Amino acid sequence: MNIIMLGAPGTGKGTVAGILQERIGIKQVSTGDIFRENIKNGTELGKIADSYISKGQLVPDDITIGIVKKRLEDEDVKNGIILDGFPRTVLQAQELDKILETKGQKIDLVINLTTPEEEIIERIVNRRVCSNQECKTVYNLILNPPKKEGICDKCGSQLIKRKDDNIETVKQRFENYIKQTSPLIDYYEKQGNLYTAVVSKQINKLGKDVAEDIIEKISQK
């Protein structure tokens, strides 16, 4: 099964994808994590990506598509993948369909998460992520704090705050999402595989609740 996570930054895509990976056994792959790892290691790709990400801009399509195409060749995703952070544009979605078609596969489910903008900003500035790339558990200092400050509950690794998790960058990323990524909702709605869910403390529904709904939906297929 191939799944796509859609939603503006801070809507809980990583949380939902992480739970799905654990429960249904499909590998979660975040293009953001791939970029951040390259930035951390100072690779050529990392330098290019950082020049865009640090300004709250999207990395160009050709670079991102190439990375995803290469990742889809790996053994751990041969039976399915949960894509978090890709596609970001209709062009990327069209290219992904072509790549999967050559493998005799398709996108089975597109999960579209929505959250009020003021909640998104609050979530992101309080977000902390496990530094262990095999774990990558996401915490929130207000909504879902770790049991021990600065330490991951699951693996004991240090929690970090992403460099781009600040108000200015978040607002820019949100604007970019509305302009460039929201057309994907129409694209997948026409394909008939879109599932939209609201993640908001205003209705007392968080990412873990949405994940449970999706698992139940998948089990009924």
Mean pLDDT throughout 157-175?
A: 88
Architecture of domain 2-215: 3-Layer(aba) Sandwich (3.40)
For the cut 90, the answer to whether the pLDDT of residue 195 exceeds it is yes
* Rounded Cα–Cα distance for residues 161 and 208 (Å): 21
Contact 30, 14 (CB under 8 A): yes
Distance CA 16, CA 127 (A): 15
**pLDDT higher than threshold 90 for residue 95:** yes
- pLDDT number for residue 128: 94
Confidence of residue 156 (pLDDT cuts 50, 70, 90): very high
Note the pLDDT of residue 70: 83
How confident is the model over 36-64, as pLDDT tens digits? 888 888 888 888 888 888 887 778 888 88
Q: Which two tokens stand for residue 152?
A: 């991951």
Of 25-29, 56-60, 184-188, minimum mean pLDDT range: 56-60
Between 6 and 142, whose confidence is greater?
A: 6
Instruction: Indicate if the pLDDT at residue 159 is higher than 80.
Output: yes
**17 or 170: which carries more pLDDT confidence?**
17
* Confidence at residue 123, expressed as pLDDT on a 0 to 100 scale: 86
Give pLDDT, residue 87: 93
CB 26 within 8 A of CB 3: yes
The β-bridge relationship of strands 81-84 and 127-130 is: unpaired
Is the model's pLDDT at 18 over the cut of 80? yes
Q: What mean pLDDT is predicted for residues 177-192?
A: 89
Catalytic amino acids?
13, 88, 127, 162, 173
**CA geometry: angle at 90 spanning 104 and 213, to 5°?**
70
pLDDT at 67 over 90: no
Can you tell me the mean pLDDT for 22-33? 89
| pLDDT for res 111 | 96
Q: How many separate helices (H) and strands (E) can be counted in the chain?
A: 9, 8
How does pLDDT run across 97-154, given as a tens digit for each residue? 999 999 999 999 999 999 998 898 888 899 999 999 888 898 999 888 999 999 999 9
Q: Which pair of structure tokens corresponds to residue 3?
A: 């799944």
